[in-house]
Amino acid sequence: MDFREAPARLRALPSYAITLAAARAGQLVVDRVAELGVSKAAYGVLAVIEEFGPSSQADLGRRLGMDRRSVSEEAVGLEHAGLVSRGPDPADSRRNRLEITAAGRDVLARLDSSFRAVQDELFASLSPADRAELDRILALVVAPAST
């Protein structure tokens, strides 16, 4: 889809441009992570566990905005791939807790590199100052509204 060919009333909506940009970014990410044999959700899951330590599936879901079933399916796939270990949470045996493995850290490092490359490709037409401004503005857009 060429943005310039969309009707003017759509091009005038920032949300339309954001939707198209998100779709393009999503496809770039899917293409890159497929090379590593993981889903794009794996990056978020591994990043949360690496940064915050062993996490329950419920905590992962809250931090990533994923539903319980999606987190569970992702956890099974990551466990089968040897990227996380999964076992009962010592604080609550009814919950599963995930820990990143050495192989998971290796894949996370490769995903970091892939995601940086996607950012560079997606925003190649922007100057460093424009990218910083876009980051600032998007952070404002996605931040919860103040009450």
What structural domains and CATH numbers belong to the chain?
Answer: 3-123 (1.10.10.10)
Burial class (CB in 10 A: 0-12, 13-18, 19+), 84: buried
Q: Are 118 and 22 in contact (CB under 8 A)?
A: no
Condensed to tens digits (0 to 9), the pLDDT of residues 55-111 reads: 999 999 999 999 989 999 999 999 999 999 998 888 888 888 999 999 999 999 999
Contact predicate 112/119, CB 8 Å: no
pLDDT band at 122 (very low <50, low <70, confident <90, very high): very high
- Residue identified by tokens 């889809």 is 1
Q: What is the full DSSP assignment across 90-140? A: TTEEEEEEEEE-HHHHHHHHHHHHHHHHHHHHHTTTS-HHHHHHHHHHHHH
* Token pair recorded at residue 63: 């931090």
**DSSP assignment letter at 89:** E
Asked if the model's pLDDT at residue 146 lies above 70, the reply is no
Write down how long the chain is.
147
- pLDDT, tens digit (0-9, with 9 covering 90-100), for 13-65: 999 999 999 999 999 999 888 888 899 899 999 999 999 999 999 999 999 99
